[in-house]
Amino acid sequence: MSDHADHPTLGLGARLWSWRYFVLRRLSQFGILLLFFGSAHWGWQVAKDVPLLTGNLSASEFAGLLPMADPFAALQIFLAGHVLQQEVIVGALIVLGFYLLVGGRVYCAWVCPVNLVTDLANWLRNRFGIQAQIYFSRNTRYFVLAASLVLSMLMGVAAFEWVSPIGMAHREIIFGFGLGFQALAAIFLFDLLILKHGWCGHLCPLGAFWSVVGRRTAQVRVRFDKTSCTHCGDCAKVCPEPQVLNLKRLEEVGYVYSGECSNCGRCTPVCPEGSLRFDLRPMIHRHNAKAHGKQDVS
Amino acid sequence: MAEVKTSRRDFLVKLAQGTSLAATGGFLWAHLLRQEARAQPYALRPPGALPEVDFNAACIKCGQCVTACPYDTLNLAPAGGGIPIGTPHFTPRKVPCYLCPDIPCMKACPTGALSPELKDINESRMGLAVIDVENCLSWKGLRCEICHRECPLKGKAITLETHPRQLSKHAMFVPLVHSDACTGCGICERACPTQEAAIRILPHNLVQGKIGEHYRLGWTFETEITQDFKPAAPAAPVTPAEAPKEAPKEAPGVDYLNRGL
């Protein structure tokens, strides 16, 4: 949030401009919630008796035409021993295809409602300078991911969907309140007081799932221009997954290649040299080559 | 050499720590799931719902059935509500199922947790109406019969039967539920005028007994001899099919007690 550069030298317009991805992300997150809520409670329709967006993030249908489903949830249900119906398979493939293109963890930064809570916790944490109480590996989430798949098989129910704070929060916003908000409060306190980026960066199996999905195929990535980078480290300070900004590796690859990058766009406005920018992957090498060329000429 | 030993010990300790952590976490998680999935057996599911265990496995908790329902009958269970989390259910005393012939909730289900094999809404079995005869107005001798009149399958799912009344020449008309036709829609429960409904919907497994296949009701022709019960000796008991052959020998109503009278 306010991790974004507050350079005193910048004018108001430039300062606002530096917040562009933050604003867009919030618009996206709240907008998606609003579409679900409006269709469920205010009868938003595209035509008579065709609701705009029914369901929730687990499975939904847009304008009566486009089915969507959470592929992770569908996978768990499949492992739990249920033969999936065509609609949910098609929906899961559509969603999977989308995130394969834009990067799996785009879900985390641009869609997931829990991100609103964890971002707030992180902002407060920075504000008050709260230190971490415990440390454990960020790879824990992959074990949680594996555990949720194994448990789905053993228990015969979709293991993560039955305890998911994401699902609880999202459902209860749309379909009525319950104790799910306690889970959300727990995540908030955990991220605020115990471990920085504790939930999204260490535990969440859905984030781990999307990290795996986006690893190789993501076409929207942050380009890294090694010629202009001064290694000031501002990007790593604002990044919720700073391990993806291993500059030595980035110099070789030319872009932020890790599946754990959520394309949140915090690093791009904050870089004083403009070395980090969103780009389409096929263009990245050409753009980097161009930048190198410029460097050589000068 | 000592270095190798240390790292091996480290490795083993790390392995043990990791395994025990995973096992503890796994057991806790599994316990939570078991608690939640078996949360309570009283949930009434939308029409076409698979049997409870399969339903819990298949439901993706998306709520599209809830939105599709034109009567706002269905709710998604919030966390901590006693009903398996995020699954659709309804409370007939508040809003019953009005048995839409096109079954929009089932059509909205993307996973098949509400099975598309249900073609006729009258074939749905969401639960079974049960009458509390101690508090039913009809059983008190009043001509209430509201459940019978409101029942969408009146005459099949709920019939009116006569029942003798103490010290009175007049009979009582009491409602009787038939499980072969009752859909469990809950319109009767909604309509029941008593303070707490005297007719209410419960899941079948909570109210229905099972006679057991070894009982042969010899006086009905519908009862088949099951495979489990086959007479061992060739001296088979008289089957109902043979009975009419012997019957004409004697006049109706005559047996060994009054023979020759």
Q: Which helix (H) or strand (E) holds A34?
A: helix A20-41
Residues 148-207 of A with CB under 8 A from B: 150-151, 154-159, 161-163, 167-168, 171-172, 174-180, 182-183
- Domains of chain A by range and CATH? 12-213 (no CATH), 219-297 (3.30.70)
Residue B245 has pLDDT above 60, yes or no: no
Three-state secondary structure call for residue B144: coil
Q: What is the ipTM of this complex?
A: 0.83
Averaged pLDDT for residues A86-111: 92
Q: Lowest-pLDDT range, A118-122, A271-275, B1-5, B72-76?
A: B1-5
Triad A92, A199, A20: Cα angle to 5°: 75
Three-state secondary structure call for residue A55: strand
Query: To which residue do tokens 């499975």 refer?
Result: A59
Residue A18: CB atoms within 10 A of its CB come to 17
Yes or no, beta carbons of B110 and A61 under 8 Å apart? yes
Averaged pLDDT for residues B29-37: 82
Alpha carbon of A24: minimum distance to chain B alpha carbons (Å): 26
Position B223 scores a pLDDT of 58
- Residue A58: which of B69, B76, B259, B245 has the closest Cα? B76
* pLDDT per residue as tens digits for the range A223-281: 888 888 888 888 898 999 999 998 888 888 888 889 999 999 999 998 888 889 898 88
A90: nearest CA partner in chain B: B110
Residue A92 has pLDDT above 80, yes or no: yes
Residue B238 has pLDDT above 90, yes or no: no
Residue B1 has pLDDT above 50, yes or no: no
* pLDDT per residue as tens digits for the range A168-188: 888 888 887 777 788 889 999
Q: Which helix (H) or strand (E) holds A44?
A: none
Distance CA A18, CA A68 (A): 33
Of B22, B76, B111, the CB nearest to A88: B111
Yes or no, beta carbons of A180 and B78 under 8 Å apart? yes
- The answer to whether the CB of B75 falls within 8 A of the CB of A176 is yes
B64: nearest CA partner in chain A: A55
Query: To which residue do tokens 């766009």 refer?
Result: A265
Residue B125 has pLDDT above 90, yes or no: yes
State the distance between the two ends of chain B, measured CA to CA, in whole angstroms. Answer: 112
Alpha carbon of A289: minimum distance to chain B alpha carbons (Å): 45
Distance CA A169, CA B50 (A): 26
Chain A residues in contact with B36 (beta carbon < 8 A): 162-163
Yes or no, beta carbons of A155 and B108 under 8 Å apart? no
As a whole-number percent, the residues of chain B with pLDDT over 70 amount to: 82
Position A212 scores a pLDDT of 92
Position B80 scores a pLDDT of 75
Residue A8 has pLDDT above 80, yes or no: no
CB–CB contacts below 8 A, A to B: 147
Burial B54-87 (b: 16+ CB within 10 A, else e): bbbbbbbbbbbbbbbbeeebbbbbbbbbebbbbb
Position B235 scores a pLDDT of 55
Which residues, 6+ apart, have CB-to-CB distance to B185 below 8 Å? Answer: B92, B96, B97, B98, B99, B124, B126, B152, B201
- The answer to whether the CB of A179 falls within 8 A of the CB of A245 is no
What's chain B's length in residues?
261
- A50-51 and A276-280: which strand pairing? unpaired
Distance CA B77, CA B94 (A): 15
Confidence label for B233 from pLDDT (cuts 50, 70 and 90): low
* pLDDT per residue as tens digits for the range B161-215: 998 887 777 889 999 999 999 999 999 999 999 999 999 999 998 899 988 877 7
Please report the sign of the dihedral spanned by the C-alpha atoms of residue A178, residue B83, residue B29, residue A144. negative
Whether domain B127-207 has CATH 3.30.70.20: yes
Of residues B189 and B4, which shows the higher confidence score?
Answer: B189
Name the CATH topology of B27-123: Alpha-Beta Plaits (3.30.70)
Three-state secondary structure call for residue B20: helix
**Whether A84 contacts chain B with CB within 8 A:** yes
Q: Lowest-pLDDT range, A60-69, A136-145, B211-220?
A: B211-220
Position B227 scores a pLDDT of 56
Mutation target vs A (from B27, B62, B100; most A CBs, 10 A cutoff): B62
A181: nearest CA partner in chain B: B79
Q: Write out the two tokens for A57.
A: 């993030």
Yes or no, beta carbons of A159 and B116 under 8 Å apart? no
A87: nearest CA partner in chain B: B110
Yes or no, beta carbons of A147 and B29 under 8 Å apart? yes
Averaged pLDDT for residues A208-214: 91
As a whole-number percent, the residues of chain A with pLDDT over 70 amount to: 94
Averaged pLDDT for residues A34-49: 86
Q: Which helix (H) or strand (E) holds B105?
A: helix B104-108
Position B221 scores a pLDDT of 64
Chain B residues in contact with A162 (beta carbon < 8 A): 32-33, 36-37, 84-86
Yes or no, beta carbons of A171 and B112 under 8 Å apart? no
Comma-separated ranges of CATH 3.30.70.20 domains in chain B: 127-207
- The answer to whether the CB of B69 falls within 8 A of the CB of B126 is no
Chain B residues within 8 angstroms (CB to CB) of chain A: 22, 25-26, 29-30, 32-34, 36-37, 53-54, 56-58, 60-64, 66-68, 75-81, 84-86, 108-113, 116
* pLDDT per residue as tens digits for the range A186-201: 999 999 988 889 999 9
